[in-house]
């Protein structure tokens, strides 16, 4: 960083030089303030987000050609991941890096009304916004209480899981923030991670301990909840109840398009080699606010884990993968029956994903320092 006022050490600071220096500082301060309001983050971060109007490393990933080799089919016969058997991707679709300059991108959610994606940059304590119409990247909220997972409710309001806040919040349409959940049985939650909203307005969220394990992605603290639970917040009374209590570390959460299934990821492998690295499915009764019939939907190849999950309108399950084998970094797509269809290879660990675009056919992928996107031939479920 260049100092706006450079004075030799041996120079005598007379009144005139001080006045000139003060004027230079004032001018620079105005410029810095204006730049900060536009694109630049506060000091101590990784730098200003790179927007789509700037040169590489944005754009299609290096080495790509149609059909993009980053899209891998799991099998040759039907059902396969690509044409002609299963048209998840057409031959002219490419994986692109659309924004970069983050420390740890997580929790994307798409707002169709504004045509933008909000996602968390956890260590930088901010929520970012990517506008898909012109590729502009800006800070939506800072501080964000080390936000992680985000979703949208049926009224178009942002629902956020906060690590350092140890709570789930709702951003009202006027910008004010309402606390949805921060305690259970009189004790603080651990560190809410991800959430989903059912059609009755209930909020379901996971509560592992990742956000209180240190100071990088939250505030170090002792867990007050003995178990790492999955909770449901009643839409009318606001009461919070435990719906599943046998996870090692519950993480990503999603609904099937018909709301008959609830998917929850267990990243317990981070706590020990014998713990699960998997996604589980449950039969969901929305009206009763209950789940049953727990099954392992898919196991991940250790040492990799899956973190985020979304579904498309045909019930396929899309999972983010990373943290272990670099060859597994990316996205996995499964049939509703749990059969692997294919992978999207990303050059970074992938933490989460969501569908967006005007046709909900653009998959946005949070890959550590960058936001990636790829068009698909399927549409994301309306259960974000």
**What CATH number does residue 120 fall under?**
2.120.10.30
**What per-residue confidence (pLDDT) applies to 37?**
35
Angle at 95 between CA 250 and CA 196, to 5 degrees: 25
Same domain for 101 and 220, yes or no, is: yes
User: Is residue 382 included in any domain, yes or no?
Assistant: no
pLDDT in tens, 11-43: 333 333 333 333 433 333 333 333 333 343 333
Same domain for 318 and 342, yes or no, is: yes
Same domain for 273 and 337, yes or no, is: yes
User: Is residue 144 included in any domain, yes or no?
Assistant: yes
Residue positions in the annotated binding site?
Answer: 106, 193, 251, 307
Omega before 143 within 30 of 0, i.e. cis: yes
User: Is residue 44 included in any domain, yes or no?
Assistant: no
pTM of the model: 0.84
Same domain for 8 and 68, yes or no, is: no
Domain containing 133 equals 49-375
Residues of the chain below pLDDT 50: 1-47, 53-56, 78-80, 83-86
Domain count, the chain: 2
Catalytic entry in 194, 307, 312, 329: 307
Burial class (CB in 10 A: 0-12, 13-18, 19+), 215: exposed
User: Is residue 256 included in any domain, yes or no?
Assistant: yes
User: Is residue 43 included in any domain, yes or no?
Assistant: no
What are the φ and ψ backbone dihedral angles of 230, each rounded to 5 degrees?
Answer: -105, 130
Asked if 307 is an active-site residue, the reply is yes
User: Is residue 226 included in any domain, yes or no?
Assistant: yes
**What per-residue confidence (pLDDT) applies to 31?**
34
Cα separation, 80 vs 343, whole angstroms: 11
Same domain for 211 and 247, yes or no, is: yes
**What per-residue confidence (pLDDT) applies to 28?**
33
**What per-residue confidence (pLDDT) applies to 61?**
81
User: Is residue 381 included in any domain, yes or no?
Assistant: no
Classify the C-alpha dihedral 58-63-68-72 as positive or negative.
negative
Same domain for 155 and 23, yes or no, is: no
Same domain for 31 and 66, yes or no, is: no
Same domain for 31 and 1, yes or no, is: yes
Residue positions in the annotated binding site for a divalent metal cation?
Answer: 106, 251, 307
Same domain for 115 and 6, yes or no, is: no
Cα separation, 209 vs 204, whole angstroms: 17
- Structural contact between residues 165 and 145, judged by C-beta atoms closer than 8 angstroms: yes
Same domain for 31 and 109, yes or no, is: no
Residue positions in the annotated binding site for substrate?
Answer: 193
User: Is residue 113 included in any domain, yes or no?
Assistant: yes
Residue 210 DSSP one-character state: G
> Which three-class secondary structure string do you get for 62-104?
CCCCCCCCCEEECCCCCCCCCCCCCCCCCCCCCCEEEEEEEEE
Same domain for 241 and 314, yes or no, is: yes
Same domain for 26 and 53, yes or no, is: no
């Amino acid at each position: 960083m260049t100092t706006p006022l450079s004075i030799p050490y041996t120079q005598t600071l007379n009144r005139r030089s001080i006045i000139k220096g003060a004027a230079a500082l004032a001018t620079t301060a105005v410029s810095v303030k204006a730049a900060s309001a536009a694109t630049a983050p506060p000091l101590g971060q990784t730098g200003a987000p790179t927007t789509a109007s700037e040169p590489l490393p944005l754009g299609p990933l290096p080495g790509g050609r149609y059909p993009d080799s980053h899209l891998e089919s799991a099998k040759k016969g039907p059902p396969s991941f690509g044409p002609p058997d299963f048209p998840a991707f057409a031959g002219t679709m490419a994986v692109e890096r659309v924004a970069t300059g983050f420390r740890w991108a997580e929790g994307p959610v798409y707002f169709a009304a504004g045509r933008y994606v909000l996602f968390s940059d956890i260590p930088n304590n901010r929520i970012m916004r990517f506008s898909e119409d012109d590729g502009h990247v800006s800070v939506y909220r800072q501080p964000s209480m080390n936000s992680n997972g985000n979703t949208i409710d049926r009224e178009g309001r942002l629902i956020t899981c906060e690590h350092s806040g140890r709570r789930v919040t709702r951003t009202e349409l006027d910008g004010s923030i309402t606390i949805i959940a921060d305690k259970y049985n009189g004790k603080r939650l651990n560190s809410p991670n991800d959430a989903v909203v059912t059609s009755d307005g209930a909020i379901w969220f996971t509560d592992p301990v990742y956000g209180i394990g240190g100071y990088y992605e939250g505030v170090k603290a002792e867990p007050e909840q003995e178990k790492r639970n999955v909770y449901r917040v009643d839409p009318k009374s606001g009461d919070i109840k435990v719906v599943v209590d046998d996870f090692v570390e519950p993480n990503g959460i999603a609904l099937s398009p018909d709301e008959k299934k609830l998917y929850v990821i267990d990243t317990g492998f981070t706590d020990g080699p014998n713990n699960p690295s998997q996604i589980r499915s449950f039969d969901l009764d929305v009206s009763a606010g209950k789940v049953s019939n727990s099954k392992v939907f898919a196991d991940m190849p250790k040492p990799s884990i899956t973190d985020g999950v979304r579904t498309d309108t045909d019930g396929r399950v899309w999972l983010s993968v990373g943290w272990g084998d670099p060859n597994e970094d990316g996205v996995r797509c499964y049939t509703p029956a749990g059969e692997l269809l294919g992978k999207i290879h990303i050059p970074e660990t992938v933490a989460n994903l969501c569908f967006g675009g005007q046709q909900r056919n653009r998959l946005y992928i949070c890959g550590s320092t960058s936001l990636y996107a790829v068009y698909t031939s399927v549409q994301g479920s309306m259960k974000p």
